[in-house]
Amino acid sequence: MAPGGSACKEVESYPAVADYAIATTTPESNSMTTKSSFGFVGKHGIQSNNGVYELLECPVCKNLMYPPIHQCPNGHTLCLNCKNRVRNCCPSCWYDLGNIRCLALEKFAESLELPCKYHSLGDIPTLIAHLKDDHKVDMHDGCTFNHRYVKSNPQEVEHATWMLTVFKCFGKQFCLHFEAFQIGMVPLYMAFLRFMGDDSEAKKFGYCLEVGANGRKLTWQGIPRSIRDGHRKVRDSQDGLVIQRNLALHFSGGDRQELKLRVSGRIWKEA
């Protein structure tokens, strides 16, 4: 157990319904760096010349919709929060909404990386509170962890993001990412840690990750990347524990019917 750690508790995670993105601005500049993973918000966070994103704009709150997306019998759509707000009455034609889902639009939303409406957050404590309250991420104390990632029909996963886990350790916060994506034609899974603060502080810590089963094991040791770094930049650099799909499925039992990867690790403070 790492200093300052607590008992290692296993956490089970499933893919998020939709990808989401959180971006932060550095105090020194107005430039925005985007981190992929949770998707939500209005067109004020997106620049689009072809009108594509307007399809996902909720007519009530004007934010971008993510699953579940509801529609009335006439095809008018709105987000779940606004469906509850308008008391099941379509704000466009006043028909009862019922419980009809717009599956085609949901599929479209899932194929995009949408920015969080709090993309301009630069204050880390506020960002942590937002993740906890609005995105319902897993929050844990301690410097050791044991997280199991589960996905049915893993062959269908080309781009998937599992819910973040945020750890409080040494009085700081770290977030653990796990996702599936492709580089060229190669499907990969990747786990990596990010520090909720600036790069200069991130370099004061180290971490290791481990995954394995059936007599085989992969390990990774590195320095957490700052949350200020763009998510895509970190992911595409493969600066973390990278597992090819075939090996991931072998770790899962070899039947290729379900992904079950147990990723354990710890965080420490460099001397």
What is the model's pLDDT at position 120?
55
Provide the pLDDT for residue 268. 96
- Looking at the structure, do residues 138 and 104 belong to the same domain, yes or no? no
Which structural domain, as residue segments, surrounds residue 70?
51-112
Q: For position 75, which CATH number holds? A: 3.30.40.10
Please tell me the total count of domains within the chain: 2
For 179-229, the DSSP string reads: EEEEETTEEEEEEEEEESS-HHHHTTEEEEEEEEETTEEEEEEE-PEETTS
| Same-domain pairing of 75 and 175 | no
197: domain CATH number?
2.60.210.10
Minimal CA–CA distance to 262: which of 251, 247, 249? 251
**Mean pLDDT per 10-residue interval, the chain, length 271 residues:** 46 50 33 30 35 77 81 88 83 86 81 59 78 76 89 67 86 91 82 92 96 88 90 85 88 76 92 75
The answer as to whether 75 is a domain residue is yes
Q: Is residue 2 part of a domain?
A: no
Do 127 and 212 belong together in one domain?
A: yes
In a domain, 13, yes or no: no
If residue 248 lies in a helix (H) or strand (E), which one and from where to where?
Answer: helix 245-251
Identify whether residues 264 and 133 lie together within a single domain.
Answer: yes
Structure tokens at 52: 């594509």
Query: From the CB of residue 207, how many other CB atoms can be counted at a distance below 10 Å?
Result: 24
Flag whether the pTM goes above 0.85.
no
Same domain? 135 vs 96: no
Residues 265 and 194 in one domain: yes
Residue type, 168: K
Question: What local confidence, expressed as pLDDT, does residue 148 receive?
Answer: 86
In-domain check, residue 215: yes
Q: Is residue 190 part of a domain?
A: yes
CA distance 221 to 223: 7
Task: Tell whether 43 is covered by a domain.
Answer: no
Q: What is the pLDDT of residues 4-14, one digit of tens each?
A: 444 455 566 65
Whether residues 67 and 162 fall in one domain: no
Domain boundary among 92, 112, 132: 112
Radius of gyration of the CA atoms of the chain, in A: 20
Is 254 inside any structural domain? yes
pLDDT tens for each residue of 33-77: 223 333 323 233 333 434 666 788 888 888 778 778 889 999 899
Do 100 and 122 lie in one domain? The reply is no
Question: Within this chain, do residues 198 and 140 fall inside the same structural domain, yes or no?
Answer: yes
Question: Do residue 74 and residue 154 come from a single domain?
Answer: no
151 plus 255 within the same structural domain: yes
Q: Are residues 141 and 255 in the same domain?
A: yes
